[in-house]
Structure 1
Amino acid sequence: MKNWLRKNPQVRSLRLAAADLNGQPRGKRVPVRFADKAIDDGTRFPMSVLNLDIWGEDIDDSPLVLESGDRDGVLLPTERGFMPMPWLDTPSALLPIWMFHEDGKPFAGDPRHALDAVVRRYKARGLTPVVAVELEFFLIDDSGRHLQVPPSPRSGKRRKAGEILSLRALDQFDNFFTELYDACEEMDIPADTAISEAGLGQFEINLMHQNDALRAADDAWLFKMLVKGLARRHGFAASFMAKPYEDYSGSGLHMHFSVLDSEGQNVFDDGSETGNDTLRHAVGGCLAAMSGSTLIFAPHDNSYDRMVPGAHAPTGISWAYENRTAAIRIPSGSPVSRRIEHRVAGGDVNPYLTVAAILGAALNGIEDAIAPPAPITGNAYEADLPQIPSNWGDAIDRFETSAEVARIFAPELIRNLVLTKRQELHYMQDVTAAEKVEIYLDTV
């Protein structure tokens, strides 16, 4: 880490940041001359900081605040190390950090530690998950009273319709996407294909699969930070808000994963087009945990506007082969690459919690040999299926009491997230629709 700074003497400012439960970066700005202290000793701030609501306020009655004296945690650098922050004018570097207790024990309320605990469960069985995510987002002109797509820097015109896989739509923002890919290269984020999507000014970028789930979640978290910051440099907003426009589809975060054994073989592959029992057991685990973990996949009030029939977001608990109306899709392709695509999460999620929830549920299914129901065919919206929770309050209640969730997340994290979401639910009842957009547009 110190060598990186020596090789980049232009850096004048540092940010030390960890993800809170809402996926918000929380941390400090530090002068470069104090970098060695941050690397060697870490930094400190209250444990409650990783458990703030969407407004950045303390959680009422949280045991992390007054009850404990609002005590500090110790935040140490992750293995990611320093990386540039290309969206800032001042040459700056970001150092991702995560929280520990004074005695070195991981803080269970840190979402990155939650994912690390799931990965360790896999390692204990000689297994390694391979993860890739697809992130959808909107480019938005939010300078007026109503949201609209930004005018094209090339033509000055606004693209007032969704254009699926339109090269013209991509080319209208060529400079933005060129800078975005350059910035991903600088930050070592493996950005792959970009496409235009069905929403107004909506795009998707895939991040390449990798056999380090923590790094994959890091990449998603950092990518969201980068896209939002870089868009502002171009004079518009980028938002991962689940549903900014009532009449257009919302944004999702689709996660693909497979699992390797100790010899590097895909445990889902039996040489067939359908995969083996291990794949089906992983699917069974994901389906069994889906209702209880919906709060992870749809963590905000606006999240539930996306999850409506016919809007390219699943509403029924189901799986299928090569069918994008199902909550879980098994893509076609070479058997050696057999994988599961989990399609429930919105773009507004915390990537660490989402990856942990999906991988943890799959491992529950593998460990318990959970047999899923038969895969569906046809339109899932028209099928008679058990339904994913369709409102925020139900999702909070089910998350709190789910036996499947209790096997994935520490009791402390479950408690903290429930307290956070109940506080947000309470205060959102007095917020207008326009104010909700203002709250979520830049935060999530």
Structure 2
Amino acid sequence: MKDWLRKHPQVRTIRVAAADLNGQPRGKRIPTRFADKITADGTRFPFSVLNLDIWGEDIEDSPLVFDTGDADGVLRPTERGFMPMPWLEAPTALLPIWMFRENGKPYEGDPRHALARVVDRYKALGLTPVAAMELEFFLIDDSGKTLQVPPSPRSGKRRKAAEIMSIRALDAFDTFFTDLYDACEEMDIPADTAISESGLGQFEINLMHQEDALRAADDAWLFKLLVKGLARRHGFAASFMAKPYPEYSGNGLHTHFSVLDRDGRNIFSNGGPEGSLKLRQAIAGCLHAMPDSTLLFAPHSNSFDRLVPEAHAPNAVCWAYENRTAAIRVPSGNPAARRIEHRVAGGDVNPYLMLAAILGAGLLGIEQELTPPPPITGNAYAMDLPLIHDNWADAIEAFEKSSIMPQIFAPELIRNLVMTKRQELHYMAELSPVEQTEIYLDTV
């Protein structure tokens, strides 16, 4: 870590940041001359900081605040180390951190530790989850009373309609995307293909698969910070908000995953298009847990505006081969790369909690040898199928009362998240849709 700073003497300040339960970066600004202390000893801030609401406020009646004297945790650097922050004008380094207790044990309320806990369960069985994510986002001019697509820096014109997989739409913001890919290289984020999507000013970028699930979630978290920050440097907003425009499709965050055995073989592959028994068991686990884990795929009030019929987002608990209307899709292609695509999550999720929920559910399906229902064919929206929760309150209650979630997440994290979401549910009800959009546009 020290070598990185020596190679970048122009960096004068550091940001140390951890992801809270909403995926918001919480941390400190530190002069570079104190970097040795941070890398050796870490830093400290209250446990309650990882359990703030979307406004950054304490959770009322949380046992983490006054009941325990708002005690500190110890935050240490993750394996990622230092990286640049290309969206800032001054040369600055970001050091991702995560929280531990005074005795060195992981803090159970830290979302990155929640994912690490699931990955450790795979490792204990000699298995390695491989994950990749596709992230959708909107480029938005939010300078006026209504949201609209920014004018193209090339033509000065605004694109008034969605253009699915349009080269022209990508070229209209070529300077932004060129800077974004350069920044991804600097931050070692494996950004692959970019396409224009079906929303107004909407784009999707794929992140390459990783045999380190923690790194895959890191990539998604850092990518969201980068896209939002860099867009502001270009004079407009970028948002992963689930549904900024009621009349257009929302932002999804689709997750692909497979599992390798000790010899590096994909246990989801049987050499044919149908995949293995283990693939179907993992699908069954994901479907079984889907209603109770909806809160992690749709964590905000606005999230549920996306999960509606015929809006390019699933609303039913089902699976299929090569079918994007299903919640779980098994893509075609090379049998050696057979995998699950989980399509429920919105772009507004915390990537660590989302991936922990998906991988945890898949592992439960394998361990318990669950059997999925038959795969569907055709349009899932037109079928009589069990539905994903369609409102925030029901999703919170299902997560709180679930018998499945305690098999994946620590009790403290479940308690903290439920308290957070109940507080947000209460105060969001007092706001107009415009005020809610103002909150979500830049945060999630």
Same fold (TM over 0.5): yes
- Aligned Cα RMSD in Å? 0.4
Match in the other structure for 1:364: 364
Residue 56 of structure 2 corresponds to residue 56 of structure 1: yes
Please give the alpha-carbon distance, in whole angstroms, between the structure 1 residues aligned to 2:209 and 2:281: 22
Give 1:395's aligned amino acid: A
Match in the other structure for 1:408: 408
Cα deviation, residue 331, structure 1: 0.1
Match in the other structure for 1:108: 108
Deviation readout 1:2-53 (Å, 9 max, x if unpaired):
0110011010110000000000000000000000001000000000000000
Residue 344 of structure 2 corresponds to residue 344 of structure 1: yes
Cα deviation, residue 406, structure 1: 1.1
Match in the other structure for 1:169: 169
Match in the other structure for 1:5: 5
Cα deviation, residue 404, structure 1: 1.4
Please give the alpha-carbon distance, in whole angstroms, between the structure 2 residues aligned to 1:317 and 1:93: 43
Secondary structure of the 2:413 match is helix
Match in the other structure for 2:304: 304
Match in the other structure for 2:328: 328
Deviation readout 1:139-178 (Å, 9 max, x if unpaired):
0000000000000001110001110000000000000000
Cα deviation, residue 407, structure 1: 0.5
Please give the alpha-carbon distance, in whole angstroms, between the structure 2 residues aligned to 1:429 and 1:226: 31
Match in the other structure for 2:45: 45
Give 2:407's aligned amino acid: R
Match in the other structure for 1:90: 90
Secondary structure of the 1:438 match is helix
Match in the other structure for 2:262: 262
Please give the alpha-carbon distance, in whole angstroms, between the structure 2 residues aligned to 1:419 and 1:17: 23
Give 2:225's aligned amino acid: M
Match in the other structure for 1:25: 25
Deviation readout 1:98-144 (Å, 9 max, x if unpaired):
00000001000000000000000000000000000000000000000
Secondary structure of the 2:295 match is helix
Residue 238 of structure 2 corresponds to residue 221 of structure 1: no
Secondary structure of the 2:162 match is coil
* Pairing 1:37-436 to 2, within 5 Å after superposition: 37-436=37-436
Give 2:270's aligned amino acid: D
Secondary structure of the 1:45 match is strand
Deviation readout 1:312-359 (Å, 9 max, x if unpaired):
010000000000000000000011000000000000000000110000
Cα deviation, residue 398, structure 1: 0.3
Give 1:217's aligned amino acid: A
Please give the alpha-carbon distance, in whole angstroms, between the structure 1 residues aligned to 2:399 and 2:284: 18
Please give the alpha-carbon distance, in whole angstroms, between the structure 2 residues aligned to 1:385 and 1:313: 15
Secondary structure of the 1:95 match is strand
Cα deviation, residue 284, structure 1: 0.1
Deviation readout 1:386-421 (Å, 9 max, x if unpaired):
000000000000001111111110000000000000
Please give the alpha-carbon distance, in whole angstroms, between the structure 2 residues aligned to 1:359 and 1:69: 35
Secondary structure of the 2:404 match is helix
Secondary structure of the 1:75 match is strand
Please give the alpha-carbon distance, in whole angstroms, between the structure 1 residues aligned to 2:67 and 2:162: 50
Please give the alpha-carbon distance, in whole angstroms, between the structure 2 residues aligned to 1:268 and 1:226: 33
Gaps in structure 1 of 5+ consecutive residues: none
Give 1:157's aligned amino acid: K
Give 1:122's aligned amino acid: Y
Secondary structure of the 2:223 match is helix
Give 1:297's aligned amino acid: F
Secondary structure of the 1:302 match is helix
Cα deviation, residue 89, structure 1: 0.3
Give 1:402's aligned amino acid: S
Please give the alpha-carbon distance, in whole angstroms, between the structure 2 residues aligned to 1:203 and 1:408: 32
Please give the alpha-carbon distance, in whole angstroms, between the structure 1 residues aligned to 2:162 and 2:353: 30
Cα deviation, residue 272, structure 1: 1.1
Please give the alpha-carbon distance, in whole angstroms, between the structure 2 residues aligned to 1:307 and 1:412: 28
Gaps in structure 2 of 5+ consecutive residues: none
Give 1:33's aligned amino acid: R
Cα deviation, residue 81, structure 1: 0.1
Please give the alpha-carbon distance, in whole angstroms, between the structure 2 residues aligned to 1:14 and 1:138: 29
Cα deviation, residue 372, structure 1: 0.3
Please give the alpha-carbon distance, in whole angstroms, between the structure 1 residues aligned to 2:230 and 2:72: 32
Please give the alpha-carbon distance, in whole angstroms, between the structure 2 residues aligned to 1:422 and 1:313: 25
How many aligned residue pairs are there?
444
Secondary structure of the 1:135 match is strand
